[in-house]
Amino acid sequence: MNRYTNAEMTDMHFVYGLANGNSLQAKRLYSEQFPNRRIPDRKTFVNIHQRFHDTGAFKSNGGSGRPMTIRTVELEENVLNMVEEDPSTFTRKIAEDLNIKEIPLATRNVIWFMHDGAPAHFSVVACEFLNATYPDHWIGRGGPHPWPARSPDLNPIDFFLWGYLKSLVYNTPVENEEDLRNRIVDG
């Protein structure tokens, strides 16, 4: 499918939309509008539309290695080491250096963002960002779906694990940063 230019694939996708998803009609319309171009197979219209829908791009990654799709201890250690080396490093730079792929568009469209009612989380700027990034798919104070009061069923980790870990870590006064790190790891 990558033997076509971006302009050609854009035109194919546009014509496929004009044909209301009918690939045979799209092929006919494309040949009428662009008589001097190579006419793609009807399946090409479907494939281009599907790839654009799933990834937000016409062209595939080109198989440049195995994409990072799962979290591993090694990956997390690499990220932590990079941040420790240079705390001002941007997350996009880390993702690029470690070959971590962005979340596909189709997945992002069904993600729900949830945050607590901390004052910084419901500022006008934060709400505008969440409305733009997760339209009607975020839960929180000032959002389209308000955070239900006293609802441990939404995020049990907030109501059990963090309190338990804090009780282990701060059972006795912390001596130094290394002591704190060891307690967190041991917790």
Instruction: Read off the pLDDT of residues 35-94 as tens digits, 9 standing for 90 and up.
Output: 999 999 999 999 888 888 777 777 765 555 444 455 677 877 888 888 888 878 777 788
pLDDT value of position 26: 93
pLDDT of 1-44, one tens digit each? 458 888 888 899 899 999 998 999 999 999 999 999 999 999 99
Residue 159 CB partners (closer than 8 Å, separation 6+) = 152
Local confidence band at 118 (pLDDT 50, 70, 90 cut-offs) = confident
Least confident residue range of 18-22, 109-113, 153-157: 153-157
Confidence at residue 99, expressed as pLDDT on a 0 to 100 scale: 77
Sign of CA dihedral 53, 97, 114, 126: negative
Give the CA count within 13 Å in the CB-facing half-sphere of 31.
10
Which residues is 114 bridged to in the sheet?
139
Note the Cα 32 to chain centre separation in Å: 39
Higher pLDDT, 146 or 25: 25
Determine the pLDDT at residue 151. 62
Does residue 105 carry a pLDDT above 70? no
Q: Over range 111-116, report the average pLDDT.
A: 76
- pLDDT (0 to 100) of residue 182: 85
Phi first, then psi, for residue 138 (nearest 5°) are -140, 145
pTM over 0.85: no
